A = this chain, B = another copy of it.
Amino acid sequence: MHDVVTLQAAGPHEVRPLAVGAGALLDILRHQHEASRSELAARTGLARSTVAQRLELLEAMGLVVKSGPRASTGGRPASTVRFAAEAGVVCACDLGATHCRLAITDLHRNVLAEVAGDLPIAAGPQRVLDRVAQHIGDLVRRLGRGLEDVRGIGIGLPGPVEFASGRPVNPPIMPGWDGIDVPGMLARFGAPVLVDNDVNIMALGEHSQNWPDCQDFLFVKVGTGIGCGIITSGHMHRGAQGAAGDIGHVRVTGADVVCHCGNVGCLEAVASGGALVRHLAKEDALIRNSRDVVHAVRNRDPRAIAAVRASGRAIGDAMASAVNFFNPSVMVIGGDVAHAGDELLAGLRETVYSRSLTLATRSLEIVTSRLDDQAGVIGAATMVCDTLFEPARIDALAARRAAA
């Protein structure tokens, strides 16, 4: 079963025979849960003998199991197979500025166990990742599984990450993390470790769970900072340096606040949870963080409502440009400040609909996150599963198994 651990992807023109079709079969089973051999042959165009041979390989790899005969419409009952989602576990970890959420999922990214708590990212990589490793061990044992069942680890970090290497790149709020080999620091699990920006994994979680058919998808996180995750044609768009979606420093029309980045009028300096707290705390000492702001809005505090609406308008100003540029069909708003709900959305919608082209907003949906605090861990698990079971990779692993 440990074939699944190595992560060397097979290029499309790699010079060795592939078990062509194994990956496509597994892909169907991952999305459909169960199928008969004849259905699989019909849907892939593979010969039935090829389907049978590929399924044997997938069974030998522990990824597919027989699921018993299905009630038939007559004649011999069709024997079906299904994806063995229980064959291993995935560890998904969403690290924020001050908070950590960790989940163990099956290979179909169903959450089996979860913990959440304070964990300041500024404590540095050694202390933070040691704590993460300890939580993984505890949760896996509590599930009655062993560490050898861990098939992959997905981590979201609150800053830019070079996705290919899993190393943070000049992260502004993560002292001591720049260039750190995060996968290397979790090598003890002997499983692949994938690392991405927290906003990207939230986008992936929300998209895969609630909008799987949306081709042009944006997720805007409004928390301590402001960032955007971009999914196009089903794929995460990370950009040349993995910096795509970094909208926190887009200039807001008419604003003159100095940002920590050195520019003036940056969206983050005007409209983030941090900016709201700074603004409201001047006259209300009870407001210390984004949650307090949301609480004040829910209590119908007029100053807090006005401030959150103004934030929504500023974010809408930046997103109007993004809407003209990208033409999404869905924009999901998440992060702590999104808990203010309608007040934030109203301001945001007001500016997006007034400043974007009517063609681009004709059928645009702007909604708050449904996964809410779980978006990050669901996204991290999705990132791991999609990589582990990428069809070309499964073709290559099945071929290796066939040769063995």
Contacts and interface: CB of A to CB of B under 8 A. Distances in A.
Interface of A: 12-18, 20, 24, 28, 42-45, 47, 160, 169-170, 215-216, 228, 230, 232-233, 235, 237-247, 249-251, 253, 261, 263, 317-318, 320-322, 324-329, 354-360, 362-364, 399
B360 A246 contact: yes
Contacts of A13: 28, 43-45
A249 B242 CA distance: 27
30 contacts: A12-B24, A13-B44, A15-B42, A15-B43, A20-B20, A45-B399, A215-B240, A237-B326, A239-B326, A239-B327, A239-B360, A240-B327, A240-B328, A241-B359, A241-B362, A243-B359, A243-B360, A246-B324, A246-B327, A247-B325, A249-B324, A249-B356, A250-B320, A251-B320, A253-B253, A263-B354, A263-B355, A321-B321, A321-B325, A325-B325
Q: Name the residue among A17, A228, A246 with the largest chain B CB count within 10 angstroms.
A: A246
A162 to B, nearest CB: 10
Contacts of A47: 17
Contacts of A322: 321, 325
A355 B363 CA distance: 31
A169 B263 CA distance: 39
Nearest to A250: B321
A8 to B, nearest CB: 15
A120 to B, nearest CB: 23
A246 to B, nearest CB: 5
A351 to B, nearest CB: 10
Nearest to A235: B233
Contact of A318 (B28, B321, B360): B321
A267 to B, nearest CB: 10
Contacts of A235: 233
Nearest to A364: B240
A244 B17 contact: no
A45 to B, nearest CB: 4
Contacts of A14: 45
Contacts of A357: 243, 246, 249, 261
Nearest to A242: B327
B244 A325 contact: yes
Contacts of A360: 239-241, 243, 246
Contacts of A240: 215-216, 327-329, 360, 363-364
The 8 closest A-B CB pairs, nearest first, are: A239-B327, A240-B329, A244-B327, A13-B43, A18-B45, A243-B327, A243-B360, A243-B359
Contacts of A24: 12
Contacts of A327: 238-246
A13 B46 CA distance: 10
Given A232-B237, A359-B160, A250 B325 contact: yes
